[in-house]
Every structure is written in structure tokens, then in C-alpha cells.
A and B are shown apart, each in its own frame.
Chain A
Amino acid sequence: MYGYEMTQKVKEITKGELQITEGALYPLLHRLEAEGLLEVETENIGNRLRKYYSLTKNGKKQTSVAIDEMKNFMSTLQIILHPKTI
């Protein structure tokens, strides 16, 4: 995926609820690339080059760890918000 595509995809999936600004997206992409979680390829798309980002092996591993952490966090929040009455 390339930068602009990501911003549009997020907007589309969340029906406009979530919008990523370029000022937030690119520094994040560059940071993840620096940490070895993303890898970059460029492709000539006719009249310009385009940078595509994809997850590295380590990036995929970290993603599943982060998703699990998020799920745990959400379930903990649920417990706090709706405590079972004894």
C-alpha cells in the first residue's frame, strides 16, 4: 500500500469517522521502517515513482502482538464498565 491509499482506505472503512493526516501518517511510516517493521519498494507508475509499504516478518509478528494487547485492553475496559453484580 502507498501513503495516499492508506489515508483513503482508513477514511472509507471507518466511513469518515477516522481520518489520518499526512503529518501523522508519514512520520509513523518512516518510524516503523526505521524499526524494521515495514519494508519499502518503489515502482515506476508511468510518470513518477511510487513508494509501497509492506509489513516485514517481524512487523507481522508485532502486529499480532499489538492486536492481542488491544483485545485484552478492550476486554478489561468492558469488565470495568460492566462489572458483574454478585
Chain B
Amino acid sequence: MKLTQEQINYLFSFCRGQGIIHYDVQIEMVDHFTEWIETNWKKQPYASFLFMIAQLRESFPKQDLKEIVREKEANLKKELVRQYKTEIVSFFTLPKIALSLLLFVFFFTIQWKPWLIVSLPVYLLNAYTVLYYLFAGKNIVRKNKEQKIHPLLVYDKLERLLNVKLLVAPILFIAVSGALFAKIKIEHDFILYPIRILIPFILIAFFSLVHVSVQVNKKIRKLYPTAFAL
């Protein structure tokens, strides 16, 4: 016996009641529950749908479902970190290494001023983010954010990873203000050289975040089209 749309919707509420609040996890469990009910209903065709739900509840205890969600969360985090590392490494292989070299050469040749150290990397990062989101990402990040109608676990994990990006400006600001307050001359080589190497690395790390964000947003859209309003 095939379940109706109404019964499937009930299974989504059942999931929420069992603590599965994210749509990407619900989809998989609802499909599993539907198959389970349809198979078992054939063996007892006179049973009601609510009776089957009661059996389902016995076969899939809340604790087991919570464990699936917990494991999924941990694995999503692991997957995002793996993607992020792969993306960083790609900046040191062809063809992206050209961009990395350009960054290192640029930061080694420009004349340094304290205000430049604070503002330039932030401007570069913002410009890159906007251009990449708009052109390479076809604005998918903004579209997903605006059109998302169901909570997604993968999206939440990605947002958490992206929050790191917000730290770059205050860290640079505090570092340079601190140096100025302590009257350390920024032109000193022992300060300047690490900065010249560090800033391109920081930028590459954040460019990689932008790339991962676009890739994951594209994947989310493809995998869970019903999680978004058209």
C-alpha cells in the first residue's frame, strides 16, 4: 500500500517530534520510514496508519534517531573541513598558483603604511567575495539565503564555518592598533616580513572559504530543491 502525501507529511511531523528538525536529515528518514511502513503494512493490511506509526516508534527509538543526527553533524563538519583543506591546497597547484604568486609578489613589493595593512586585505577580500559570488557562483549564496524555507543541517554547519570570516577585520585592526600604541615602527623587518608572508596566506584561506561556500550552496540546491521556494 502506497502512502499518501498527507501520510508522508505526517511522517515529517513525526520526525520533528523525534527531534529531527533539519530537512536534509528528515528527507532520508521519511523515505526510510515510508518504505518500512509500506513493506510492513502488506503483512497486516487491516492495520490503521496510526497503528503502523506506533510500531514505527517502537522500532526506531528516539535515542537511535538522535544518534543518527549527532553522527551526521560530526560528519558534515568533517566533510566541510576536508573540502576546505582541498580548496586551500588547490591555491598552490595549477592554475590557481598564479593567483597565489601574484598575491605574494604584490604584498612584498608595495610600500607599507599602517592604514594599508588594516584596510587593503579587507578590501581585497570583500572585492573578491562579491565578484566570485556574483559571477562564478551565479549569486547562488544570496538566492539560497533568501529562498530557504526549511532548516538544513549542512547549511547551518557551513554558516558556522563562514563566521570565521568575520574575525579577520577586527584581528588585523587590533594587531596594528596594538603595534601603533606600543610605538613599534611597522617598517621594522622583523614585523614587516612576517606580515608580508602572513597576509597572502590569510587571504588564500579566506578565498578558499568563499569557494567552499559557493560549491556547498550549489550542492545543497541540487540535492534539496524542495527546501527552497522558487
- Which chain B positions have C-beta within 8 A of A21? 64
Q: How many Å lie between the Cα of A40 and that of B3 in the bound state?
A: 25
Instruction: List B contacts of A50 (CB < 8 A).
Output: 31
The residues of A that contact B5 with a CB separation of less than 8 Å are 47
Separation in Å of the A11 CB from the closest CB of chain B? 11
Sample of 13 A–B contacts (CB below 8 Å)? A3-B32, A4-B31, A23-B64, A27-B68, A27-B71, A30-B75, A31-B78, A33-B79, A36-B79, A42-B27, A47-B3, A50-B31, A51-B31
Within 30-48 of B, Cβ neighbours of A (below 8 Å) are at 30-32, 34-36, 39
Interface residues, chain A, with chain B CB atoms under 8 Å away: 2-5, 8, 21-23, 26-27, 30-31, 33-36, 40-42, 44, 47-51
A42→B223 contact, CB < 8 A: yes
Taking A8-B39, A27-B71 as known contacts, 15 extra A-B pairs with beta carbons closer than 8 A to each other, sorted by chain A number, are A5-B35, A22-B60, A22-B68, A26-B71, A27-B72, A31-B71, A31-B75, A31-B78, A33-B79, A34-B75, A36-B79, A42-B223, A48-B31, A48-B34, A50-B31
Assembled-state Cα–Cα distance A41/B224 (Å)? 10
Contacting pair A34 B27 (CB below 8 A): no
Contacts of B35 in A (CB 8 A): 4-5
Chain A residues within an 8 Å CB radius of B225? 42, 44
Q: Is the CB of B32 within 8 A of A4?
A: yes
Contact of A27 among B3, B31, B60, B75 (CB under 8 A): B75
Q: Within 8 Å CB of B76, what residues of A?
A: 30, 34
Determine whether the beta carbon of B67 is less than 8 Å from that of A23.
yes
